[in-house]
Structure 1
Amino acid sequence: MVNRVAFEIFGIEIYWYALIIVSGIVIAMWLSTREAIRVNLKKDDVSDFMLVGLPVAFIGARLYYVLFELETYLADPIQILNIRSGGIAIYGGLIAGGIWLYFFCRKNFIQPWTFLDIAAPSVLLAQGIGRWGNFMNHEAYGGETTRAFLEKLQLPNFIIENMYIEGAFRQPTFLYESVWNVLGFFILILLRKYTTLFKQGEIALAYLIWYSFGRFWIEGMRTDSLYLFGEIRVSQALSFVLFLGAILLVIWRRKSNPNLKAYNRTYGSDQRII
């Protein structure tokens, strides 16, 4: 089984999870910055956003997880701060980051939809990379399966061996979501660059549609879900709402504003609100 500890510094264990998450964030920032410059935003807009947005998103991801495991954490509140034991939720990070983005764009006179369109594909890629942190942590896996099934997927042996958890081989749901997210990233950036399919704001909405659709089905295979009530999983419920809401918003925006520009038509124009 893969060791979750990458190395030690002065006796402090540094986990692969942290290194992989940070790598995903750095790549996403680099890609978003390149796209921001191309649509006439400042080079520093993305880094300025992330300076506050990253810790806000992290806190949101932690609080989201704690909220749906409240009984456990109320019994031992100090564990809320024990992030090394795990327990962050991507949807919480997206919600908190989205709130900060609204205030950031207002403060800096940036079109919010443009900023979302710039960031969305890169965020999807970062999520795909981040799932490998779950792999290293031996988490975000599915129900029991067989080695023969995993071998039929043509998976490398190191993945198969690491999917032997708690006495059984497990469905590599981390991998399913990683592949789904990376595939979505390439589709979005290719369509964004070479077509006029997307109106302003629709790349971000397409991200929500793509991610929530995949997350809904993959979440149903996982064994570590947060539950809303009964058998209703939190992430499935939220995925359904986001999927339907994003589709309806695309329809409403196009009907209410037939003159919406295609995203590609914004190149070279001023994306700041005067």
Structure 2
Amino acid sequence: MKHIILILVFVSSLMAGVVKSPLVSIDEQNSLATIKINKIDMGMSGFISHIIADGHSVILKNIEVISYDKQSKIATLKMTPYDALRNNSLPSGRWSVKVGDTAILAFGYTRGVLIAPNDEIYYRITKSVKHLQWVHPDIFATILSFNGHPTPLREDFKKLSIATSVGLVFFFLDEKLYTVDSKSFKILNVTDAHLKQESIKLPFFSRVDNIEANWFGAGNDELEVYEPYYFGLLSEANPENEKLKEAIKNFNMKAKK
């Protein structure tokens, strides 16, 4: 049960609360901003809140932590357009990001979804982490069916995050659990999870038997492999992650035996 305890401890630390910090500088040309904070995880995502009147604020940008200097305690944030509440029938406003606006990070980290190869592993992990609100993968399967993607794409995970306010996605791959920010798709943590995998349900465990497919386009084919596909999906967003590289190497070596 040691690995389950480690998972519980890490998830509990992520759920300690939403991180709020004022912007201390802005580089509009490169779409960057900075905050000063004692501790932050690389890859954490969130948004910038701008006060427009007493008691009223507006969200202006999505943000992602792209670097952190431990000595100066300065975190650099990449800003991108905020699209979670897009409505073409409403005015967008002309507000711009200012020094002193609030960076809000780790929003939605109290909710997660687990991508697991079978029901036994799914229930063992989710039942061990009781302080996280688990969104059932049936909901994700329904979103995939609506999008016509039997093979999940990275964009599908972002749509899941927007639709359900899920902040974290967990992937069980080859006896390890990867904790991933649902929007940036950056790996926040890798934990050993030595659970025996006796079966695989593709594209992941859910009670939805059939996911509708588009006639053509990315994601329209049935997923044929589990670990190789999700390892590849994570590698695209985390090309420099050494733990992921080592895990893929070990998995490939075992597969060749």
TM-score, normalised with respect to structure 2: 0.25
Q: Larger helix proportion, structure 1 or 2?
A: 1
Q: Larger strand proportion, structure 1 or 2?
A: 2
Using CA pairs under 8 Å that are at least 6 residues apart, name the structure with larger relative contact order, 1 or 2.
1
